[in-house]
Amino acid sequence: MTITGTPGRTEPKKPSEPAEPEAHGDRRSVPPSDPSRRNGAVLVGFTAVTNLADGVMRLALPLLAVRLTDSPALVTTASLALTLPWLLTALHIGVVVDRFDRRMLLWLAGAARLAAMGGLFAAAVTGHLTLGRLLAAGAVLGVADVLAATAGSALVPAAVGREHRPRVNAWMVGAETVGQEFAGPFVGGLLLAAGTGLALGAIGVTYAAAALLLVLLAGRFRPAAPAPGTPSVPVNTRIAEGFRLLWRDPVLRTLSLTAAALNAVWGAWLALMPLHAHQAMGLGPGEYGFLLSGLGIGGLVGAATVTWVNRLLGPRRAMLADLLGTCAMTALPALTTSLWAVAAGAFLGGMGGTLWAVNSRTLTQQKVPDALLGRYTAASRLLCYGALPIGTAAAGLLAELLGTRTVFAVISVLALTTVIPFLRRVKAADLAGTSAP
């Protein structure tokens, strides 16, 4: 589970000012017949179905690459093809999301996914599947994922009223966790065992079903058009506006930098844990699977209890719990080789990650203007997701020199250093309204 500080919404007079929900032209103001409940159900269903397909596909592509080559470097390019588009295309896609109908962009992403899966299916059933075709399809799927994730996040405030967003965000994060970490990999393994063509065809059908759900959304999802006579703005300038908003608002900046630091820690933990579990803890595959299941179970518990936790502790303390949970998750492998203790740390990290994601997502949907939503999302996720490979690479290099237990101790200290800046910059008043009523 990665941690993001997702996005939210109409050009503010000053970047640090939150938008007024009832301002002229704000498409998020809730009409008398509020469709939030139906739209929320549609978005949760869309998220669940899409992430199920994503979970199957992210398992299937690397395993198909293993069948086509014995080179470890070439096998890893299958995963790289899926993730590299975040670094190469995210900023420009953010500009697109702020200019065009966001539901149409989700349909466009769905069409690209269907084309990619259709090509792979045809190649597989005719015996012409090659590594080149696999990587090309992976790149298309990666770009479609960036477009869908950015447009989907930008669409939420227009589809769901403010009072319903905390609950909808919680269910969406839970659906992401189930699809990506549980159901997707499990179903993907069964489908691949039954046949490559069956697996690829099932992924395509699932993406098609997700696209059809969007027909049920009620509302308009195109950003407000510029006023007549407004001069055109260069793309690079529009990209810079998203970064400027992120950097000038102290709360948004702190959330994004904290999430980036935590993602670097998560990248390091995920990279080191397989080797550490085998060498230092002496775990077999079944025991290691049990350890990793702590992440997913924690994420599900977090999604199910975030409303209750917010009411009990307040959103600020709930987000602080993620920082402390990540510290525990990374410190325990340095302190003990007990499977149960390390799995408990993974549970705390997974639960805390969900608490952070839901509250951060809801907060930014309140603060970020609709006209900047796509660009802010792209800038924030570029920063957050870019930290994952950095943490992975740094952990590998340090482990060569210092050993895995020492690196776990180092990254636990890094996680701990996020606590003071978070407490100084993010106050309870900043998170007002992020709890479900």
Ordered DSSP codes for 390-421: HHHHHHHHHHHHH-HHHHHHHHHHHHHTTHHH
Please tell me whether residues 192 and 264 are part of one structural domain.
Answer: no
Q: Binning pLDDT at 50, 70 and 90, where does residue 422 land?
A: very high
Please tell me whether residues 298 and 215 are part of one structural domain.
Answer: no
In the predicted model, is pLDDT for residue 322 greater than 70?
yes
**CATH number of the domain that residue 134 is part of:** 1.20.1250.20
CA distances (Å), origin 116, targets 139, 141, 149, 202, 213:
9, 7, 18, 13, 20
The answer to the question of residue 1 being in a domain is no
Where among 192, 224, 256 does a domain terminate? 224
> Two tokens at 62?
């690397």
In the predicted model, is pLDDT for residue 72 greater than 80?
no
Identify the pLDDT of residue 435. 58
Instruction: Answer whether 372's CB lies under 8 Å from 28's CB.
Output: no
Please tell me whether residues 100 and 184 are part of one structural domain.
Answer: yes
- % of the chain exceeding 90 in pLDDT: 34
Residue 301 CB contacts under 8 Å (≥ 6 apart), including other chains: 347, 350, 351, 354
The answer to the question of residue 16 being in a domain is no
The answer to the question of residue 120 being in a domain is yes
Identify the pLDDT of residue 348. 94
The answer to the question of residue 233 being in a domain is no
Please tell me whether residues 292 and 177 are part of one structural domain.
Answer: no
Please tell me whether residues 216 and 249 are part of one structural domain.
Answer: no
Identify the pLDDT of residue 78. 80
What pTM was computed for the model? 0.74
Q: Could you tell me the sign of the dihedral formed by the alpha carbons of 318, 323, 327, 330, in that order?
A: positive
Identify the pLDDT of residue 324. 94
Identify the pLDDT of residue 336. 93
Please tell me whether residues 94 and 164 are part of one structural domain.
Answer: yes
Identify the pLDDT of residue 392. 77
d(C-alpha 121, C-alpha 134), whole Å:
10
Identify the pLDDT of residue 22. 36
CA distance from start to end of the chain:
27
Identify the pLDDT of residue 303. 86
The answer to the question of residue 6 being in a domain is no
Mean of per-residue pLDDT scores for the chain = 83
Please tell me whether residues 55 and 165 are part of one structural domain.
Answer: yes
Q: What's at 425, amino acid-wise? A: R
Q: Which residue has the higher pLDDT, 399 or 23?
A: 399
The answer to the question of residue 287 being in a domain is yes
Ordered DSSP codes for 37-79: HHHHHHHHHHHHHHHHHHHHHHHHHHHHHHHH---HHHHHHHH
Identify the pLDDT of residue 61. 84
Identify the pLDDT of residue 56. 86
Q: Could you tell me the sign of the dihedral formed by the alpha carbons of 118, 122, 124, 128, in that order?
A: negative
Please tell me whether residues 60 and 184 are part of one structural domain.
Answer: yes
Please tell me whether residues 287 and 386 are part of one structural domain.
Answer: yes
The answer to the question of residue 436 being in a domain is no
d(C-alpha 322, C-alpha 45), whole Å:
26
Where among 167, 193, 224 does a domain terminate? 224
Burial 339-368 (b: 16+ CB within 10 A, else e): beebbbbbbbbbbbbbbbbbbbbbbbbbbb
Question: What is the average pLDDT across 13-42?
Answer: 54
Report the domain count for the chain. 2
- % of the chain exceeding 70 in pLDDT: 89
Rounded CA Rg of the chain: 21
d(C-alpha 163, C-alpha 117), whole Å:
38
In the predicted model, is pLDDT for residue 21 greater than 60?
no
| Span 291-307, pLDDT tens digits | 877 888 888 898 889 88
Identify the pLDDT of residue 320. 94
Map tokens 């739209």 to a residue.
Answer: 39
Instruction: Answer whether 381's CB lies under 8 Å from 86's CB.
Output: yes
Where among 224, 249, 264 does a domain terminate? 224
Identify the pLDDT of residue 14. 38
Going by C-alpha positions, the residue among 313, 308, 320 that lies closest to residue 348 is 320
In the predicted model, is pLDDT for residue 6 greater than 60?
no
Please tell me whether residues 209 and 318 are part of one structural domain.
Answer: no
Map tokens 């210092």 to a residue.
Answer: 402
Instruction: Answer whether 145's CB lies under 8 Å from 85's CB.
Output: yes
Instruction: Answer whether 367's CB lies under 8 Å from 8's CB.
Output: yes
d(C-alpha 42, C-alpha 358), whole Å:
18
Please tell me whether residues 265 and 200 are part of one structural domain.
Answer: no
Burial 249-277 (b: 16+ CB within 10 A, else e): bebbbbbbbbbbbbbbbbbbbbbbbeebb
The answer to the question of residue 143 being in a domain is yes
d(C-alpha 88, C-alpha 5), whole Å:
20
d(C-alpha 179, C-alpha 51), whole Å:
5
Question: What is the average pLDDT across 17-30?
Answer: 38
> Two tokens at 384?
């957050």
In the predicted model, is pLDDT for residue 80 greater than 90?
no
Burial 56-71 (b: 16+ CB within 10 A, else e): bbbbbbbebbeebeee
Instruction: Answer whether 436's CB lies under 8 Å from 167's CB.
Output: yes
Map tokens 């065992």 to a residue.
Answer: 193
Q: Residue 249: give the domain boundaries.
A: 241-431
The DSSP symbol for 227 reads P
In the predicted model, is pLDDT for residue 27 greater than 60?
no
Q: Which residue has the higher pLDDT, 13 or 369?
A: 369
The DSSP symbol for 32 reads S
Please tell me whether residues 250 and 329 are part of one structural domain.
Answer: yes
Assign residue 393 a region (left: φ > 0; alpha: ψ between -120 and 50; beta: otherwise).
Answer: alpha
Instruction: Answer whether 374's CB lies under 8 Å from 151's CB.
Output: yes
